[in-house]
Chain A
Amino acid sequence: MVGLKVNEASGRIQKFKLEYKDEGVWKTALSGTTLGEKYEKSFLRATSKVWRLNILEATEGPTMLIRLTHLPPTGSGFPLKPVMFPSARV
């Protein structure tokens, strides 16, 4: 199982794709607009080990924060990992 948790608290992401690599080609697993604070998606039959969060459109802002986490097979989740995007510094 492959899953993803995203916490995009600032709401600056306007358009994104979650992609996986299949025989060297990026394919779209899903696409969307905003993610919000508790976005979570699991792909039970996914076999690809290479994944990409492709942010296609985002409003600029120094405080944009997303949290991106790969879910473990147990589904319990490990601690959310903060990722700054774009240009956010602490």
Chain B
Amino acid sequence: MRRLFVNLVILGFIAGSAFDTITDQEHWPFSQYPMFSGTWTSPTFTWLRLFGVTDDGREFPLDANRYVAPFDQSRLPKALKQMLAKPDREAQIRTALPDLYARYEQLRREERHEGPPLAALRLYELEWTIHPDAANVDTPERRQLIAEVRP
């Protein structure tokens, strides 16, 4: 009986994994592990990024995970992109940005990052042409303001 149970556990795992691999689907924790499987041919790319605005109007990118934790610089832009793809995109973003602002301030108060207090939070879409040395990381070719929130 015990051996049968163990065999079922093993077979269940193998079947679930094989199913996702063969059908190219994802049912976490099963997955087809598609990360980085596409081919990059374009030297340009766009990315959503939050910027903080200080009292004196200075703008700086929240481009480190410590500003947006527990989100990270991969997951957060993808979440925001999904919101922007929805019909009620404006309402979604208007709800999301205050959350991110509040989280930034909470992390700042807890001294989890060294960023200044914010007067506003902005969401931009940035576009870069990849530089061989990534020398233009702070100077994207294009910046489009998507939304702004003030406390």
The answer to whether A binds B is: no
Identify the A interface with B (CB < 8 A). Answer: none
